[in-house]
Structure 1
Amino acid sequence: MSARRELGAVLAATLTTQILVSWSVLALAAMAPVVAESVGLPAIVIGYQIAIVYAVGAGVSLLAGSLVTRFGGARVSQIALAACGAGCLVATFPGAAAIVVASIVIGAAHGLTNPSAAHLLARHTHKGNRGLIFSIKQTGVPLGGIAAGIITPAIAIAFGWQVALIAITPVALLAVLALAPPRPAWDAERTPGASVGIGALRGAGEALQLPGLRWLCLCAFCFGGVQLCLMTFVVTFAVFELGMSLVRAGTLLAVIQVSGVIGRIAWGIVADRIQHNGAVLVVIGLISAASALGFALITPQTPGFVSYGLAVAFGVSAVGWNGVFVSEIVRVSPPGLIGAASGLGTFAAFAGVLFAPPAFVQIHALTDSYSFTYGFLVIPSLIGALAALGTARPEALWR
C-alpha cells in the first residue's frame, strides 16, 4: 500500500473512532428529559453523567500512553470502540446505577481515543501535513456531537431512547472488526512487556518533564474550559438575555458547532503553511478572548448579523483549537513519548472541562448575568494564548 493510501486508511480509522466515541459521550445528554423521566430523576441530574465521563476519561488518559506502548494504537482504538459500544448497551439496563456504570465505561473509551490516534497518525505524517491531518481527525468531536444531536433524538422519538443508544453498539463493533486486518502492521512497533499498572504513570511523569508539554497542558486546560462553557450555556444565554426563541438559540449553537468544524481544518492548513503551531494557538486564544468580550457586550438590540458573526468567530477559535494542539504535542515530544504526552494533554483539557463550567455557574450566581460571565472567559483565553508561546522555547523543539 502506498504511503498516501496508508495515511488515508489511518486517518479514516482514527476519525471514525473519534466520531463514534464522541457520539456515545453525548448521546444520553441529547435525550436528557426522556431518559431522566424513565429513571425517575430530574433532567438536570443527567449533567452529572457528563461529569463522570470526563472525570474517568481524565484518569484513564494518564495511563493511555502505556497502553498504547504495550498493545499498539490500533488495539487501543479497538478497546475504545468496544467500550463505547458496551457502555451504550449497559445504559439501557433498568435503573440509574446502569447509567453510572455506562458513564464510567464510556469515559474510559473517551480517555483512550486521543493518545491512540496521536500515536498512529504521528507515524504516518510529517511536519508539512501534520496540522491538517490532526485537525481533520479532531473534527470527529463536533461531528459526533452533531450525530448525537440529530440522529439520536430522531431514533428516540421513533423507537424509544433505549433503541437510540443500542443503535450505536453495532456500528462501534463493526468499526472494531474493520480495524482487525491492518492492526498487525499498524501495531508492529508495540512493546508487549510495557507496564500498564501504576508504573505506567512513570511515562506520564517523564512526558511532563518536556518544557513545551507543560505549557501545552496549561493551554489545553484554559481552552478546554472556554470551549465547554461556550457550548453549555450559549442557548440559555441567548433565550433568557438576548430574547431569542429556542429555535434561534439552537441555530446559534449550530452555527458555533459548524464554525468549529471549519475552524479545525482551516487552522490546520494555516499551521502547516507557516510551520508554527504555537503561533496559531496564540492567534486562536486572542480571537477567543475578543469573541468572549463581544458576547459580554451584545444585548437584545444587537443586530442579528453581529450576534451570529460573533458566534462564528467564537466557534472558529474556541471550538477550533484541538487539531493544532494535538499536532503541537506530537512536535514537542520524542517518538517514544507521543502516547503519554497526548494522554497528559487530554487530561489537562478534561480537567479544564470539569473545572470551568462550575466556575461559570458561580460567577453567574454572583453577577446574575450570562453576558457579564462570558466576559470572564477573556481571562482563560488570554492565559491559554500566553501558554502557547511557551512551546517556542528551543528545548521544546524535538522536531
Structure 2
Amino acid sequence: MKRAAPDWLVPIAAIFVLQTIASFLSRFIPIIAPAVSEEFGWSGSSIGYLTAANSLGGLAVLIAGSALFKRIGGMRTLQLTLFAGAVSMAFFLHPAVGVALAACFVMGLSNGAANPAGSEVLQRFSPPGKRNLVFSIKQAGVPLGGVIAGLLIPVMVAYAGWRTALFVCAGLVVLPTMLTWRVSARIDEAPAIGRPWLGRPSLQSLRALDAPLRSLLRSRGLLKISVVGSLFAVSQSCWFTFTVVYLIDRLGFSLGQAGVVFAVMQTGGVIGRIGLGWLSDYLRSATASLSLAALFSAATTALLGASTPQWPLWTIVLLAFIAGSSAASWNGVQIAEVARRSPPDQISETAAGSSILVNLVNMLAPTAFAAFVAVTGRYDYAFAAAGACTLLVLAVLPRDKKPGA
C-alpha cells in the first residue's frame, strides 16, 4: 500500500520554492549590474546603492505589510510581490540609475515578505523536534537562488546579452510562482470574516506600523537574537553585494569566473544552512552553532579583503565555499530561535521585526561599504570592518532557551 505524503511536506516545499525565487530575484542585481554599468557608464559603487535600494524595498514591506500578511495571507503576499518584482526588471532597460534604483526597490519587496510568510507557515507545519532543520532547509533556498543566479546569468549575458537575460530571469520568477498559486489557498490562515483585505488607512492601522519592532521587546532574549541576525548580516551583505565586482575589478576575474565563485559561495550556503540547522538540533544549542558560524564568518570576510591577484584560483574558490558555509549559514537557526521565543500569536510580527533589523543592515552596510571604497579605494579595510562587526555576535548571543521555557 502506497504511503501518503506527510501533511507538512507540501507547505515546506511551497515555501522553499518561493524563498528560492525571492532570493534569485535579489541575487540577480549584483551579478548583472557590472554588465549594465559598463554599457550605461554607471560607477562601480552604484552596485552598493542598487543593493541598498533592494533592501529598502524589503524593509518597506516588513514595516507596512504586517496588516497585509494577516488580511490576505503570508504566502499570497509573497507571491504578489514576486510578480511585481518580475515586472520591475524591465526598468533596467532604461539608462538612468534612478530608474534602476526604483526597480531594485520593487524587487526587494519579495525579500521582505519571505521571512514572515515562511516563519508563520513553518511554525505551524514543522514536525516536532526538527524545527531548526526545517527552518534551515527553507532558508537554504536563499543561497540556492544565488547558485542559480551565479551559474545562469553570466552565461546568458555572455551568449545572448544582458537584455535577453533580463526577460529570461523574469520568466524564471513568474513560472514557479504561478505553480504555487493554488497551494497558498490551502496553507494561508483564513482572514477574519467580514474583514476586507484592502481598506482605508486608519489611525489604528498607522500606529500598527511599529508593531513588528515593539514585538521584539517582549523579552530580552528575543531582542538579542534579533540583533544577532543584524550583526551576521553585515558580512553576509558585503559578500553577496561585492564579491563579483571585487573579483572583476581587483583580482582580474572575468564575469564568468566571478559568477562561478559566487555560485560556489552560495552552494556553501545551502550546505551550511542545512548543516547548521542539523547541528543546532543535535546539540540542542543555537548558541553553540551560531558562535561557530560567527568565528568563521569574521575570518573569511577579512581574508577576502586581504586576497591579491597572486592568490591561486583554488584558494579563492575554497574561501568562497567556507564563507558561504558560515557567513550565509546562520539564517535558519536564527529565524527558528526568533519563532521559538515568540508568543504563538505573534510569530509573524516578531519575524517581521527581526527581519526589519536585518534589512536595515542590508541597506546600510553595502551603502557604507561602497562609500568607503569610493573615498579610500581600500577593499581590505572595508572587508575587515565587516568581519569585526560580525564577531560581535559572540558578545550579544543570548543563552539557549529550552523548549517550553
Q: 1:377 aligns with which of 378, 386, 392?
A: 386
3-state SS of paired residue (2:182): coil
Partner of 1:99: 100
Q: Take 2:300 and 2:29, find their aligned partners in 1: how far apart are those partners?
A: 30
Matched, 1:270 2:271: no
User: Closer, same or farther in 2 for the Cα pair 1:343/1:298, shift >3 Å?
Assistant: same
122-131 or 147-156, larger mean C-alpha shift: 147-156
Contact 2:8 2:127 in 1 (8 A): no
Contact 1:225 1:354 in 2 (8 A): no
User: Closer, same or farther in 2 for the Cα pair 1:296/1:161, shift >3 Å?
Assistant: closer
Structure 2 unaligned runs (5+)? none
What's the RMSD between the two structures over aligned residues?
A: 3.4
Matched, 1:22 2:6: no
Measured after TM superposition, the shift of residue 53 of structure 1 is 1.1
Q: Take 1:353 and 1:55, find their aligned partners in 2: how far apart are those partners?
A: 8
3-state SS of paired residue (2:340): helix
Please give the residue correspondences for 1:307-386 in structure 2 after superposition, counting only pairs within 5 Å: 309-361=318-370, 369-386=378-395
Partner of 2:117: 116
3-state SS of paired residue (2:364): helix
Q: Structure 2 length normalisation: TM-score?
A: 0.83
Contact 1:288 1:314 in 2 (8 A): yes
Q: Take 1:276 and 1:355, find their aligned partners in 2: how far apart are those partners?
A: 30
What's the CA shift string for 1:226-247, capped at 9, x where partnerless? 1122344445666777x67557
Partner of 2:36: 35
Matched, 1:203 2:214: no
148-157 or 45-54, larger mean C-alpha shift: 148-157
Q: Structure 1 length normalisation: TM-score?
A: 0.84
Measured after TM superposition, the shift of residue 9 of structure 1 is 1.3
What's the CA shift string for 1:177-209, capped at 9, x where partnerless? 333433333123444648984233253144121
Measured after TM superposition, the shift of residue 376 of structure 1 is 2.8
Contact 1:71 1:191 in 2 (8 A): no
Matched, 1:255 2:264: yes
User: Closer, same or farther in 2 for the Cα pair 1:216/1:127, shift >3 Å?
Assistant: farther
Q: Take 2:164 and 2:249, find their aligned partners in 1: how far apart are those partners?
A: 34
Please give the residue correspondences for 1:172-321 in structure 2 after superposition, counting only pairs within 5 Å: 172-191=173-192, 193=195, 197-210=205-218, 211-234=220-243, 245-246=253-254, 252-292=261-301, 294=303, 309-321=318-330
User: Closer, same or farther in 2 for the Cα pair 1:164/1:298, shift >3 Å?
Assistant: closer
Measured after TM superposition, the shift of residue 340 of structure 1 is 1.3
Tell me which amino acid in the other structure corresponds to 1:376.
A
Partner of 2:61: 60
Measured after TM superposition, the shift of residue 334 of structure 1 is 1.4
Q: Take 2:313 and 2:35, find their aligned partners in 1: how far apart are those partners?
A: 32
Partner of 2:70: 69
Contact 1:24 1:106 in 2 (8 A): yes
- How many residue pairs were aligned? 394
Q: Take 1:15 and 1:118, find their aligned partners in 2: how far apart are those partners?
A: 11
114-123 or 156-165, larger mean C-alpha shift: 156-165
Q: Take 2:253 and 2:206, find their aligned partners in 1: how far apart are those partners?
A: 51
User: Closer, same or farther in 2 for the Cα pair 1:191/1:341, shift >3 Å?
Assistant: farther
Q: Percent identity?
A: 29
Tell me which amino acid in the other structure corresponds to 1:86.
V
Q: Take 2:105 and 2:21, find their aligned partners in 1: how far apart are those partners?
A: 16
Measured after TM superposition, the shift of residue 223 of structure 1 is 0.7
What's the CA shift string for 1:277-330, capped at 9, x where partnerless? 233212211232343455577677777766655444332111111111111111
